[in-house]
Structure 1
Amino acid sequence: MSQNLYPSFGVLLVDDEVPFLRSLSIALERRGGINHIYRCEDSREALGIIAREPIGLVLLDLTMPHLSGEALLQRIIEEHPDVGVIIISGLNQLETAVSCIRQGAYDYFIKTTEEDRLIEGIRKAIRMQEMRLENQEMRRRFLSDTLERPEVFEGIITRDKGMRSVFQYLEAVSASSQPVLISGESGTGKEAIAHAVHALSGRNGPLVSVNVAGLDDNIFADTLFGHHRGAFTGADKARAGMIEQAGSGTLFLDEIGDLSLASQVKLLRLLQEGEYYPLGSDRPKRMRARVLVATHQNLEQKQRDGAFRKDLYYRLRTHQVELPPLRQRRDDVGLLLEYFLAQAAEELGRSKPSFPRELPVLLQNYGFPGNVRELRSLCFDALSQHRAGVLSMEVFRRATGQGAAIVQAEQPGEGVLFASDQPLPTLQEAADLLVAEAMQRARGNQSLASRLLGISQPALSKRLKKSQPD
């Protein structure tokens, strides 16, 4: 494929006026970025084109010889109910418009309508079709629990069900041109997910990444939009912005939660209009890249606080994934430990060492505020200090700490430990419950369980013996 087609499905223009077909095609491509277009001058051939080609939307004239637009509309709705239809007629007849909408047409426009209004209406219909197709695809994937391109996610080490659901969702929306918001704590792998989305999309341009944290409004505009020579003091030559460098690929904006309000306005206009002005230019350029954004911040809270524009927030979250923190992916800790130790051994030119059986258990009960990135650093640090024999746990013990090892499932105030309508357990019963939970988390290792409880190993052993029936 020599170029990326937008939308992923075809848009069929049906009109017996060849000049109008040509002018509308040009306007759709130049003003709307819509280039997946089929044209039909004879309404009798339209149904054959819909059957042969991946048509998702039809722009239909009403007054045509042989087969009228209203008759063709009825046949499309009967034979191809998943195909959307927009009427574009030279007749301004309210009764006809109402009749077409009642039959199932998505919208009705007059040919003399302002071009901007017409193109925006068509783009809106495309977005509706995209959402319908994505919902169908998501239902299919989740019901069958399949991944069609698992190789795209090979670099993300996991067997967590939550992460698998993220992968299935991303496969379902891969054909969309709409933005994707990737959120999650620092170190959860947001950039790796951005690379996966780019690979899934099949776009023929590169992935261009920009960390927007700390960029003031002028630098942000220059970084994204580029500038012409002489646009400002020091602009001795023209420079292409990141949007142009991305071409038909993907533009990834990291740390979007730190973007200033002034820059948010520029980004919103870019997403709404699909065009931008390089600094010093009065001629707009059309953006062909897909936009991905990532943040570790709570954008919903920021927009409620007035620090993030509400309209931009809802524009960005057309597609959204939340990456679970490592403390919620306990089964992945052992996999990642093996993977990062092997990676560190290869980079340091050493053999991968064995490690104590209790090490994965210790790490599974640690909160990992730095998530996957923190575990990777611990593995590299431990191996750099390793000399021979079994890998020492000292680096990991220092990192987890005596009190920091306990995994906090919920923050204070987020949950209730004891239901108000149930009797409280006695102190002895509560202590027994804590000991049982610690032993379960430590997988029967008394040394680790005692550290989780903050008591000595002999004290725990004494409690266990007292709780055993005679």
Structure 2
Amino acid sequence: MATPNPAGSPALPVLVADDEEPIASGYRMALTRGGITRLICHTDSREALTTIQTQPLSLMLLDLNMPFVSGEKLLEAAAQHQPGVPAIVVTGKDTVESVVHCVRQGAYDYLVKPVTADRIVTTVRNALQVVELRRQNQQLREQLLAPHLKHPEFFADILTADTAMRSIFGYIEAVAPTSNPVLLTGETGVGKELVARAIHRASGRTGQFVAVNIAGLDDTMFSDTLFGHRRGAFTGAEGPRQGLIAQALHGTLFLDEIGDLPVVSQVKLLRLLQELEYTPLGQDRPTKTDARVIVATNADLARLQDAGRFRPDLYYRLSTHRIHIPPLRQRRGDLGLLAEHFMDAAARQLNRKKPTAPKELTALLATYNFPGNVRELESIVTDAVSRHTSHILSLKSFADYIGAMAGPPPAPGAAATAPVAENTTEPFGATLPPFKDVKRLLVEEAMRRADGNRTRAAQLLGASRQALSWYLQHPEA
């Protein structure tokens, strides 16, 4: 009969490995008193190695210096047989080289003997909480995606819980198997290349995903980069060069910043899309290709067409499948999820322990519009993690950045200004609305733009927060 899971004890056992019996017994007693009762204890490192290789575990508490099999060898085995399971190293060796080596081997934490019972229990509990949070996040992502997607794993690199983004994923699954080009539009930093890679994975193509930013390429550089050249095609061409389209055979070619492509180069791209062939420089006969083309831009292609800078026929060819990726300000529900992800990534890059996000962080981030989108959020979070010096991540760097980008608040009593369209000389028509209605509409719009943040809304209105709060409590006054 299965043993019921005690409160606070993990479903899978915790492995304790230390060659000194008194220390191993002390760990066992401390963890049991702390409510962690599912334990496997070994004083022989060879038995610990067998357990790591054969037994599912929730956590490993390993002595670094043991006879027969060292703690470092156990870490290597854990990385292979227990991926994602945290390993806590306990040792009497307190050197920077040892710490760095263990962290690189995947250790979750590094404790130096002697270690108090409270420290052991606290460290183990914190690690188990991390494991549980990861499990819950994975379960949540599967619940959000699985009901609508056949293969949610194609989109694992795109962190989102947004309904609009999930709808995009469903559309991608539908169109990815075709060979038609895809046009991705969206502001800078929304993750267009991540979406392009997801399309490639969902397509089932066996070739490579080849990406190139074509901004700044003149026609000669574009042709050479994409199509390649033969030896002697031009002065200095001492050998042949394979173009990116050849590298993308049976795969996907991703062209970023398509709005910057010169018109003369657009003709060559159009022929590639229509005829599925290209001609390397210095070659007489065209070469066939089956590469799928995905293009991306943050420009308004319709406006570029009107200005004569983008060919309409190329636009229509590229627009067979068009996907617009919404900016981050339209999916603020992703702010917390993305911030946690970037905190974890920054901590690993800096070889630091991940700080805890303050509960006010998401609310603070939601007051900002993020013109640089996800890329800007990543930069802000990385900078904050690199500065932090305590367990809780400080809000100061976030507040300073948002305040600097928003500019100084308007002077008390100053009217908020906004550009007025040329055809709005009489915006209200013949009859003016009542003053109380205008005031109500202004307050509602300010609160909408500030996502309910009264301080930010008051700044937009040029009023004090106290005055705005009083009005919201007495709207009929």
Aligned position for 1:287 = 289
* Contact in 1 for aligned 2:231/2:239 (Cα 8 Å): yes
Write the distance in 2 (CA, Å) between the matches of 1:241 and 1:440.
50
Aligned position for 1:313 = 315
Structure 2 residue identity aligned to 1:326: L
Structure 1 residue identity aligned to 2:463: I
Structure 2 residue identity aligned to 1:261: V
Aligned position for 1:162 = 164
1:198 aligns with 2:200: yes
- Cα deviation code 1:60-117 (max 9, x no counterpart): xxxxxxxxxxxxxxxxxxxxxxxxxxxxxxxxxxxxxxxxxxxxxxxxxxxxxxxxxx
Query: In the superposition, relative to structure 1, how do residues 435 and 358 fare at CA in structure 2: closer, same or farther (>3 Å)?
Result: farther
Structure 2 residue identity aligned to 1:314: Y
Write the distance in 2 (CA, Å) between the matches of 1:270 and 1:435.
54
Match of 2:361 among 359, 363, 387: 359
- Per-residue deviation, 1:189: 0.5
* Contact in 1 for aligned 2:366/2:451 (Cα 8 Å): no
Count residues in correspondence: 323
Aligned position for 2:348 = 346
Query: In the superposition, relative to structure 1, how do residues 426 and 392 fare at CA in structure 2: closer, same or farther (>3 Å)?
Result: farther
Aligned position for 1:455 = 463
Write the distance in 1 (CA, Å) between the matches of 2:441 and 2:404.
21
Deviates most, 382-391 or 146-155: 382-391
Structure 2 residue identity aligned to 1:398: D
Write the distance in 1 (CA, Å) between the matches of 2:372 and 2:333.
17
Deviates most, 371-380 or 360-369: 360-369
Write the distance in 1 (CA, Å) between the matches of 2:315 and 2:202.
24
Write the distance in 2 (CA, Å) between the matches of 1:275 and 1:192.
27
- Per-residue deviation, 1:402: 7.2
Gaps of 5+ in 2: 1-145, 410-417
Write the distance in 2 (CA, Å) between the matches of 1:411 and 1:257.
27
SS at match of 1:294: strand
- Per-residue deviation, 1:415: 12
Deviates most, 301-310 or 336-345: 336-345
Query: In the superposition, relative to structure 1, how do residues 292 and 412 fare at CA in structure 2: closer, same or farther (>3 Å)?
Result: farther
SS at match of 1:401: helix
- Per-residue deviation, 1:160: 1.3
* Contact in 1 for aligned 2:367/2:451 (Cα 8 Å): no
Aligned position for 2:175 = 173
Structure 2 residue identity aligned to 1:399: Y
Write the distance in 1 (CA, Å) between the matches of 2:209 and 2:250.
9
SS at match of 1:182: strand
- Per-residue deviation, 1:316: 0.7
Aligned position for 1:128 = none
- Per-residue deviation, 1:456: 3.4
Deviates most, 164-173 or 427-436: 427-436
Percent identity (aligned): 54
Write the distance in 2 (CA, Å) between the matches of 1:263 and 1:433.
50
Aligned position for 1:186 = 188
SS at match of 1:237: coil
Match of 2:278 among 272, 276, 284: 276
SS at match of 2:220: helix
- Per-residue deviation, 1:269: 0.9
Aligned position for 1:217 = 219
* Contact in 2 for aligned 1:362/1:442 (Cα 8 Å): no
* Contact in 2 for aligned 1:358/1:445 (Cα 8 Å): no
Aligned position for 1:123 = none
* Contact in 1 for aligned 2:185/2:297 (Cα 8 Å): yes
- Per-residue deviation, 1:287: 1.1
Query: In the superposition, relative to structure 1, how do residues 337 and 438 fare at CA in structure 2: closer, same or farther (>3 Å)?
Result: farther
Structure 1 residue identity aligned to 2:283: S
Write the distance in 1 (CA, Å) between the matches of 2:297 and 2:231.
34
Structure 1 residue identity aligned to 2:241: R
* Contact in 2 for aligned 1:361/1:442 (Cα 8 Å): no
Write the distance in 2 (CA, Å) between the matches of 1:170 and 1:419.
42
Aligned position for 1:333 = 335
Write the distance in 2 (CA, Å) between the matches of 1:454 and 1:304.
39
Match of 1:323 among 319, 322, 325: 325
- Per-residue deviation, 1:362: 2.5
SS at match of 1:252: strand
Match of 2:299 among 297, 300, 305: 297
- Per-residue deviation, 1:414: 12
SS at match of 2:406: coil
- Per-residue deviation, 1:447: 4.3
* Contact in 1 for aligned 2:367/2:456 (Cα 8 Å): no
SS at match of 1:379: helix
Query: In the superposition, relative to structure 1, how do residues 414 and 367 fare at CA in structure 2: closer, same or farther (>3 Å)?
Result: farther
- Per-residue deviation, 1:400: 2.2
- Per-residue deviation, 1:309: 0.6
- Per-residue deviation, 1:231: 0.6
- Cα deviation code 1:245-279 (max 9, x no counterpart): 11111111111100001100111111111111111
* Contact in 1 for aligned 2:340/2:357 (Cα 8 Å): no
Aligned position for 2:81 = none
Write the distance in 2 (CA, Å) between the matches of 1:149 and 1:422.
57
Aligned position for 1:114 = none
SS at match of 1:200: helix
Write the distance in 2 (CA, Å) between the matches of 1:275 and 1:240.
15
The within-5 A match list for 1:65-214 is 146-214=148-216
TM-score, structure 2 as length reference: 0.61
* Contact in 2 for aligned 1:277/1:283 (Cα 8 Å): yes
* Contact in 1 for aligned 2:367/2:453 (Cα 8 Å): no
The within-5 A match list for 1:39-58 is none
Gaps of 5+ in 1: 1-143
Structure 1 residue identity aligned to 2:292: R
Aligned alpha-carbon RMSD (Å): 3.1
* Contact in 2 for aligned 1:362/1:448 (Cα 8 Å): no
